[in-house]
Amino acid sequence: MYGHVTVDQIISIDQFLPPGITADALSKKTTLGGTGPNIAVSAAKLGCPTALCAFVGPDFPAKYMDFMESSGLIMDEVVTLDGEETSTCVIINDRDLVTRVFFYQGPQGHADRTGVRLTSMAEASANVHFCTGQPSYYISLMEELKGGRRISLDPAQEVHRVWNADLVGRALPLSDALFCNELEAETICRYLHLQDVMDVALPLVVRTDGDRGSTAKVGDEIIRIPAVKADRVVDVTGAGDNYRAGFYAALYRGIDVPEALAIASAVSSFAVEEVGALNNIPTWDAVMERAEPYLGMIS
């Protein structure tokens, strides 16, 4: 699993003020975030042997490193680089829930400059998932890793501003699967001059469609996966990341792709029941109990 390891700082204020005027923070919460831990920790806790390949700086909190290790995550290629600052996301919400987000990429965003090639874990893996991070670095790794393993491209929200038509066009031929949500699918289609992301010529294309479930192209067949109902919806942060974790955990257990996607939806349904992407990871038995009624609804 390749993706940012991020320290998230979530700040609440009363209202955004004009430039030059200080707004007092009403609350501040610091948490572990980033697509890397969100997907990898959840997959590991669901019983799928998972390695995280990512860069952090010496400022990365030890408690978060301990948390990732305690999840069962393989940490051999979580590399601390001297002289670097860990990726940081500052999220500011006002009283009307208007949000402004400021993101510092950290070394994952300029991985080419590190001179470190994170490939040993991927070379030993059946599935390799590339999420957020420097596109040119990931493409170079994909070129090296192509063959003998399934490579998934999942640029996430960075597809809008970090990736471009040329980079997506170079990465897709090196991939076996594409993951995206509805907005990301629109950007990918614009880059590739397509009407529908399901027209991307890969063996597997998965688009999550929010509370309408998800759509996938598996081989030549288009299937629709229902949204698994949650007991309550508190926070949708990390729902997509947990979906991906559930998919890989199901594949690891030998479950076919269509059923694995329904199980992915079930894992996602647990994530939205609590605040934070990693605060409600279920047991595998709980996932299968919730997924069971939906396995026959795939169409």
What's the pLDDT tens digit per position in 184-233?
999 999 999 999 999 999 999 999 998 899 999 999 999 999 999 999 98
* Predicted structure pTM score: 0.94
Mean pLDDT of all residues belonging to the chain: 95
What's the pLDDT tens digit per position in 267-298?
999 988 887 778 889 999 999 999 999 998 88
Residue 56: pLDDT above 90?
yes
Q: How confident is the model at residue 296, as a pLDDT?
A: 86
What's the pLDDT tens digit per position in 84-128?
999 999 999 898 878 899 999 999 999 999 999 999 999 999 999
Q: Domains, the chain, ranges and CATH?
A: 35-86+107-297 (3.40.1190.20)
The percentage of the chain sitting over the pLDDT mark of 70, rounded to a whole number, equals 100
Cβ neighbours of 136 (radius 10 Å): 13
Q: How confident is the model at residue 96, as a pLDDT?
A: 87
